[in-house]
């Protein structure tokens, strides 16, 4: 997974025709008008990799800006159903934090909270038996980077979030993704047959563990450091000839 606010075009290119790597990117797209301009929902992979490239391309600018509800809805309605069907052996997260609130529009403009990154991490921990690797990527504000990094570690301690309704522009972006990807992922087909915000069901969230001693979080944070300075048909058998299945999520929030 790749949740940075900018599309992970390099990672997409590296695995565009590889059916053993499921690449999912959440990013600001605005019909190709936001840097780097790539990452359209129609970019689904090529050759044997068709269907294994998923772009959740937010369109609609920053009125309103995408936030926690929109990102959590994207995870519950698209990211997690596809990832669970793919059933990866390991999850690699390109953890970019420039969608965290506080970044100006040219560098982000969204209002995702640091705590939301923690919740997204918690959801991904339900995949691959909890085998997850997170690599710090984007972020232009030191405070936001530190807060989001701390939240990702705190996610291991468990935390429950209330479910709310995403904004209409987010629903429209997700409907487009679901309509395109439902051709490749049967788990999305029921959602693609509905219209409007109702296609984003309130999927139950696995209960987290109770609150732990704050000292545990501080201890975990001690290990963190911040450096200031094209369309086609899907292969019929997704399980064949695969030694290790990797889900790469670019969380450019």
pLDDT in tens, 105-125: 877 889 999 999 999 999 999
2-223+243-252: what fold?
Answer: 3.40.800
Confidence of residue 143 (pLDDT cuts 50, 70, 90): confident
Check whether 42 has a pLDDT greater than 70: yes
Confidence of residue 234 (pLDDT cuts 50, 70, 90): very low
- Residue written as token pair 């939301």: 116
Lowest mean pLDDT among 54-63, 77-86, 89-98, 198-207: 198-207
Q: Where are the domains of the chain?
A: 2-223+243-252
Q: What average pLDDT is seen over the chain?
A: 80
Lowest mean pLDDT among 75-89, 132-146, 156-170, 226-240: 226-240
Q: In this structure, what DSSP letter does residue 200 have?
A: S
Look at residue 55 in the predicted model and tell me its pLDDT.
Answer: 98
Question: Torsion angle of alpha carbons 152, 18, 53, 188, nearest 10°?
Answer: -100
Q: Which residues contact 76 (CB under 8 A, 6 or more apart)?
A: 123, 200, 201, 202, 203, 205
Q: 218-230: b or e for each residue (b if 16 or more CB lie within 10 Å)?
A: eebeeeeeeeeee
């Amino acid at each position: 997974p790749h949740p940075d606010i900018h599309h992970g075009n390099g990672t997409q290119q590296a695995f565009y025709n590889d059916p053993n790597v499921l690449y999912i990117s959440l990013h600001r797209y605005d019909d190709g008008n936001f840097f780097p301009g790539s990452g359209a929902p129609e970019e689904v992979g090529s050759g044997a990799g068709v269907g294994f490239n998923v772009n959740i391309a937010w369109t609609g600018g920053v009125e309103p800006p995408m936030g926690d509800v929109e990102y959590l809805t994207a995870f519950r309605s698209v990211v997690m159903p596809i990832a669970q069907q793919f059933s990866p052996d390991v999850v690699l997260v390109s953890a970019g934090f420039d969608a965290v609130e506080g970044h100006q529009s040219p560098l982000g403009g969204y209002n995702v909270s640091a705590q939301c990154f923690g919740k997204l991490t918690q959801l991904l921990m339900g995949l691959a038996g909890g085998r997850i690797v997170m690599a710090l990527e984007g972020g232009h504000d030191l405070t936001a980077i530190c807060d989001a990094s701390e939240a990702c570690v705190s996610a291991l301690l468990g935390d429950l979030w209330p479910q709310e309704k995403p904004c209409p522009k987010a629903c429209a972006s997700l409907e487009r993704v679901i309509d395109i990807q439902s051709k490749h992922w049967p788990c999305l087909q029921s959602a693609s047959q509905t219209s409007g915000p109702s296609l984003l069901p309130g999927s139950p969230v696995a209960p987290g563990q109770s609150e732990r001693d704050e000292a545990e979080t501080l201890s975990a944070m001690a290990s963190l450091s911040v450096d200031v300075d094209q369309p086609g048909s899907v292969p019929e058998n997704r399980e064949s000839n695969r030694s290790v299945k990797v889900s790469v999520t670019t969380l450019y929030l």
